[in-house]
Amino acid sequence: MAKVKKQPRPKAETPKGFRDYFGAEVTERAAMLDAIAGVYHRYGFEALESSAVETVEALGKFLPDVDRPNEGVFAWQEADEEGRGDWLALRYDLTAPLARVYAQHRNELPTPYRRFAMGPVWRNEKPGPGRFRQFYQCDADTVGAPSVAADAEICAMLADVLEEVGIPRGDYLIRVNNRKVLNGVLEAMGLEDEAQKDAVLRTIDKFDKVGEAGVRELLGKGRLDASGAYIDGVGLASDQAEPVVAFLTSKGDDSAATLANLRAAVGSSAMGAEGVDELGEIADLLAAQGYGPDRIVIDPSVVRGLGYYTGPVFEAELTFEITDEKGRPRQFGSVAGGGRYDDLVKRFTGQAVPATGVSIGVDRLLAALRATGRVGGQAEGPVVVTVMDRAKMAEYQKMVAELRQAGIRAEVYLGNPKNFGNQLKYADRRGSPAAVIAGSEEFERGVVQIKDLILGAEIAENATLEEWKERPSQFEAPRGELVARVQEILAGVRK
């Protein structure tokens, strides 16, 4: 009889590009999502939870940097009886599913339809440092409102969100531009070849990295990059490239100066002039609500990927410095962005439906708060009721029930109680604020021992022997005062 081949054990490792989230991280994210949802709800947006799976056809070809609809997504084909089922995919953002939902349910939904959505999205891309294949987004969109008042409202709401989650005024800036202005610049250049237009757009997107001189070179013959490799340029004459340079360098000392410079950059383009007018209206609407240039500013350098945007675009940037992995100071950068996309629903209905929205990168925003010490650290664990006598388990469970009924997070130690030291080590590892101790002697006398683990840690780190004697971290209390004395510890009040 042949020997059965032993199956290898599976590797206990997270797939590349994915990660596991533990207690404090999950709690912090949930708190952030609640805070953001509170702002969205205050602005009149309604929650929507759509399917995590869409047909590839419904998702469309709007994923950045890919040419085919099923490239860059996790997709599979449903098998039917003939072996030809629909291609399905995990959503790569929350906007494409919204377009499908609105097209499907538009007769039952109010117009405009204002919705917010939160949840994970998945992208089948090469992972790297800080780049994951699954991450959380938090979106808010208005569908069916053609007025740029809807865009201005999204920008104001984004500013309120950042301050609500702990980014103070002065540490962020929301920058606003308009795709129509960019299209007007291309029109002013007289470009007709689509490939050349795409090359110009890619060059514009590099402005933050290469600056004005680098853009001039890339629009012309080309340039040497930092590695010494030569990058071919678009091949435009210097006068033909001038509208792009004027556009990218049109930011003035205030909105009025910026708008005037943009009008000059778009020349006689009617579309470009319309885009400048819209930016002016957005600036006026925001100023009327008290959102000045210290919070939201017109900035022509914002291009937002250029995929499906048709009008205003915006990006939230954190302006404070952090230290990178090599100890070098750098700005944290963008944590949210969005814009107007009037043609997305049209794919389903054949009719243009105006829409605008914003997407917040929850993981990046949390990383920013951790980098500044505004969230993070040891999360407070449950009060641990230790077990000194297994025969008294019902009494220990009664204690923990009383604590829970008082709204206190608590648990009975359910490991092997033989080694009492291990129980206290467990409480310490959980970040517990207190441990409750009761053996046969305490039960006979009707008392409990309460160990203040917060104070104990402080004493162990800082106190002298005399201070330790004056401020004991463990004390005795009547059994009937258990809840009250634990509440005192949690409130920082000790007798």
Amino acid at 91: R
The phi and psi torsions of 338 (rounded to 5 degrees) equal 175, -160
pLDDT (0 to 100) of residue 209: 80
As a whole number of angstroms, the distance between CA 437 and CA 93 comes to 51
**The CATH number of the domain where 393 resides is what?**
3.40.50.800
Q: 458 is in which domain, residue-wise?
A: 383-491
| Burial environment of residue 410 by CB neighbours within 10 A (0 to 12, 13 to 18, 19 or more) | buried
The phi and psi torsions of 173 (rounded to 5 degrees) equal -150, 130
pLDDT (0 to 100) of residue 464: 53
SS3 354: coil
Contacts with 286 (C-beta within 8 Å, 6 or more apart), sequence order: 152, 155, 156, 292, 296
Q: Are 217 and 308 in contact (CB under 8 A)?
A: no
Assigned domain for 24 exists: no
Residue ranges at the known binding site for L-histidine? 93-95, 123, 137, 141, 304, 308-309
Assigned domain for 465 exists: yes
Q: Work out the end-to-end distance of the chain between its first and last CA atoms, rounded to an integer number of angstroms.
A: 76
Tally the domains of the chain. 1
| Burial environment of residue 15 by CB neighbours within 10 A (0 to 12, 13 to 18, 19 or more) | exposed
Assigned domain for 272 exists: no
pLDDT (0 to 100) of residue 378: 62
Write down how long the chain is: 495
As a whole number of angstroms, the distance between CA 100 and CA 466 comes to 70
Assigned domain for 402 exists: yes
Residue ranges at the known binding site? 93-95, 123, 137, 141, 304, 308-309
Task: Tell me the sheet residues that pair with 408.
Answer: none
pLDDT (0 to 100) of residue 61: 62
Q: Are 474 and 436 in contact (CB under 8 A)?
A: no
Q: Are 113 and 102 in contact (CB under 8 A)?
A: yes
The tens place of each residue's pLDDT in the chain, 495 residues long, gives 567 778 888 999 999 999 999 888 899 999 999 999 999 999 999 999 999 999 988 987 655 445 444 578 898 888 776 667 788 999 999 999 999 999 999 999 999 999 999 999 999 888 877 788 999 999 999 999 999 999 999 999 999 999 999 999 999 999 999 999 988 988 888 877 777 888 887 888 788 788 888 888 898 888 888 777 888 888 888 888 888 888 888 988 899 999 999 999 898 899 999 999 999 999 999 999 999 999 999 998 887 655 678 999 999 999 987 766 666 667 788 899 999 998 889 989 999 999 999 999 999 899 888 887 777 666 689 999 999 999 999 999 999 999 999 999 999 999 998 899 999 999 999 999 999 999 999 999 999 999 999 876 666 555 554 554 555 789 999 999 999 999 999 987 444
Assigned domain for 113 exists: no
Give residue 70's Cα distance to chain centre: 24
As a whole number of angstroms, the distance between CA 70 and CA 86 comes to 12
pTM: 0.84
As a whole number of angstroms, the distance between CA 388 and CA 178 comes to 69
Assigned domain for 59 exists: no
Assigned domain for 470 exists: yes
Assigned domain for 404 exists: yes
